[in-house]
Every structure is written in C-alpha cells, then in structure tokens.
Copies of this chain bind each other. A is one copy, B any other.
Amino acid sequence: MTETILFDRIAFIGIGLIGSSLARVIRRDGLAGHIVACARSEATLKTVMDLGLADSVTNDPAEAVDGADLVVLGTPIGAYEAIAKAIGPVLKKGAIVTDVGSVKRMAIDAVKPHLPPDVSLVPGHPVAGTENSGPESGFDTLFVNRWVILTPTPDTSADAVEKVAELWRRAGSNIEIMDAGHHDQVLAITSHVPHLIAYTIVGTVTDLEDVLKSEVIKFAASGFRDFTRIAASDPIMWRDIFLSNRDAVLEMLGRLTEDISALQRAIRDGDGAYMEDKFTRTRAIRRGVVDAGQHIPPKPPGTPKP
C-alpha cells in the first residue's frame, strides 16, 4: 500500500468538478496518506465529507496546507492571489503547489510572488471537464485519455514537475509541457472563445420576447442545444478565465468577428461559392480532431445512452 503513495498529505484548496475528480482518483488508487479539502462554503465541505473525498476539511486555506506535500489550487483564478498570500508563509519546506486553472500566465503571476523559494510551483491544466460544477459532479474517469498541460517556469525543479506529472498519469492523462503564454493562446482558441460565443448566443436568446424564447427552447435543435450545454458552465469560473486571459481572448475574438463579418456579407450578397468553400474546408479540421481522439466528450459513468 505504502508503495502506491505519491504524496503523504495532499491539500485541495477549492474542490469542484476537477478537484473532486482528482480526489476520487487519489482515493481509488491510494495515492495519498491524507487528503484535506478546503472550501469556503460549509455545504461544500459537508458534501465532500459525505462523499468520502477527504480525510479532513476546513474553510481556512492556511490550516489546510499545514504539513501538506502537495497543494492543489482548484478555485476560480480570481481567488488565487488571496489564497497564495494566505498559504505562502505556512507552506511546508519542499512542498509542491499546483493548480488546475484554465489560464496559466495569470496563475503564475498571481501565485508565484507569494511562495517561499523552497516551494515549487507546477502550474497545470487538465484539458477535461463537463458543464457541471461542484464536488458531487466529479468522477474518477474524467481525465482518462485527456491532456494535462503543465507550464513550469524556468526555475521550477524537474523533480517537482515529474511528481505532478506522475499523479496525472495515474488519473489516465497524457502530459504535455508548454510555455504558459503559449498555452493561453492555444486555449483561447480551443476553449475560451468558444465558451464566450456560446454564452453570447444563449444570452441573446434570453433577451428575446417571451413567446419566441419559449419556442426557441421547445425546438432547440442541434447547434443551439450544444451551445446551451456549454453556456451552462460555472459563471464565476468563466468570468475569471476571460478576465485572466484577456489579451489572447480579445485577439482571437478580433479575428473571429472579422470572419463573421465576411460571412455576413456573403449571405447578404448571395455569394454561395464563398460559403461552400469555407464550409468545405472546416470539415478537414473535424477530421483532425477525430484523428487526434479528442472528439468524444467525457461522460460520467451511468449517463443514460441516448
């Protein structure tokens, strides 16, 4: 049993969909001697204990990290700096701090200045998720065959990176090491802007007159249905993602609105050839995604088969 332990004590600061899914993996495989979970809300802490996801709970980050060998930040990114300030002075010598946030440059900027030099920061991003939030929505197969991108800074020890990578490998993930800024640019395209557009299009519907709105919901077809699923994601988490990855999101959004304008003009002008060309080329991208094995969304076990 002791051989499987990767960290004697792991502290989760924030334990929602991602954190609780990782905690489930750690529990399942006995990868930690002790798990402590920290959340602001008593209801969340009760859920965590009821689900048996942690050995102890607290609403105090400093108390949570006391003696921890690994600290996993799983809150919205906007909370990182205050947490880093609170835990910095009490972190165990040699501890590793990692996170699961979707923006990495800002995560480093918010956390690193507050960590003592003998603590390693290994910023991480498991590229996996569902539209559900909270510790009750996690499941231990969420990360299987998904990428986890680690974005160590130049002074992060290779040993610390490897320890965090090994934890994710046990969860079934593939590891990619990347520069934080580059990560933010790639994810702006694959995740942040698509979420922003989904939020927008569903938001536009909320402003429709009531009769039309009820019909739109009734006849939600492929397209809008998928957008509503994406737009059901956690509002605070996504607010912080857009605020934290502002430059990359705005740059990509700029390109996108130019392309929307071009298509708008083609529709107005009845330019079918332009559309046919554009729509044919997008099929190749889908083939690439399917070939990369990333086309099937993760589903909690027991999800009813359609």
Contact digits for A5-48, partner B, Cβ 8 Å, 1 yes 0 no: 00000000000000000000000000000000000000000000
Contact between A267 and B249, CB atoms less than 8 A apart = yes
Q: Is the interface of A mostly helix, strand, loop or mixed?
A: helix
**Which stretch in A51-59, A66-74, A165-173, A189-197 binds the other chain?**
A189-197
**Which stretch in A104-112, A116-124, A150-158, A287-295 binds the other chain?**
A287-295
Contact between A260 and B294, CB atoms less than 8 A apart = no
Contact between B282 and A221, CB atoms less than 8 A apart = no
* Interface hits, A115-158 → B, CB 8 Å: 127-131, 147, 149
A203 interface hit (Cβ, 8 Å): yes
Contact between A225 and B279, CB atoms less than 8 A apart = no
| CB<8 Å pairs between A and B, sample of 26 | A130-B222, A186-B219, A189-B204, A189-B216, A190-B220, A190-B221, A190-B224, A196-B260, A197-B260, A198-B223, A200-B263, A202-B285, A202-B286, A203-B278, A203-B282, A205-B285, A206-B281, A206-B282, A218-B292, A226-B229, A231-B282, A235-B283, A236-B276, A238-B275, A238-B279, A257-B261
Complex A-B, nearest 7 residue pairs according to Cβ-Cβ distance, in ascending order:
A194-B223, A235-B279, A232-B286, A217-B288, A231-B282, A190-B224, A191-B221
CA distance A128 to B227 in the complex (A): 16
Contact between B283 and A267, CB atoms less than 8 A apart = no
Interface size range of chain A in the complex? 35 or more
A4 interface hit (Cβ, 8 Å): no
Closest to A197 in B: B197
Closest to A193 in B: B201
- Which residues of chain B are within 8 angstroms of A147 by Cβ–Cβ distance? 218-219
User: How many copies make up the complex?
Assistant: 2
Contact digits for A172-214, partner B, Cβ 8 Å, 1 yes 0 no: 0000100000000111011111111111111111111000101
Give the shortest distance, in Å, between A15 (CB) and chain B (any CB).
20
Contact between B222 and A297, CB atoms less than 8 A apart = yes
